Each structure stands twice: as C-alpha cells, then as structure tokens.
Amino acid sequence: MLDCVVFLADCLVSVSQCIEVIIGGLDYNQNKVNQWTASIVEHSLTQLVKQGRPFKFIVNCAIMQKSGAGLHTANSCYWDTATDGSCTVRWENRTMYCVVSVFAVALTC
C-alpha cells in the first residue's frame, strides 16, 4: 500500500500539470467544456500509463462553473487497501472549479 500511496502522490503532480495545460488561464465556456473534460481524462490516463505500473485506472473529472453554488463529492471503495488506492486533485481559477479523482486497482501479476 505504501508503494501505491507514494505512486499516487506522484500522480497528483502529473494530473495537476495536465489540468493546467488544458484549461489553465481559460474562462468557463459551455461549448468547450465537453472537450475539456474528455482531454483532461485522456491525458491524465496517458500520463498514468506511462509510469508503467501494474494497475487498472479509473479517472473521473468534474468541471463546474463558479457561481456561488456549493458542491460536495464523496467516494467509497471496496478493495484491498494493501494494494489499491485513490487520490483527488482539486483545481480552480477565476471562473471554474475542476475536481479530478484517480482510482488505482492493483493487477495481480
């Protein structure tokens, strides 16, 4: 599990870089947000795969326009805590919030 935790801590960095590259400095745009979520998950997944670790990945991304409304997120997982783990990255700019969750489930090999 330690291995997984350290690995996920490194993932945090690469995922936040992905988000920054794709939507950093942009304002919320209804027409583009579909494309943004798709690229964020795709690029994050590619970065994770590049690390070459034996995990299955689930990447979830939520982008919300800033309007004073509140948002709560929770996750609950039934797995082997010795080998599996998750991490969540929260990012915001002037006009939107972005929350990306990464779950890593170990492959038995």
Residues forming the site for other proteins (CB under 8 A) = 1-2, 5-6, 8-9, 12, 28, 30, 33-34, 36-38, 40-42, 45, 48-49, 56-84, 86-88, 90, 99, 101, 103, 105, 108
Residue type, 98: C
User: 100 to each of 23, 42, 82, 97, 109, how far by Cα in Å?
Assistant: 13, 12, 23, 10, 28
**Shortest distance, position 17 Cβ to other proteins, whole Å:** 14
Pick from 3, 37, 7: which is nearest to 22 by CA? Answer: 37
**Minimum CB separation from other proteins for residue 102, in Å?**
10
Least Å distance, CB 13 to other proteins, is 9
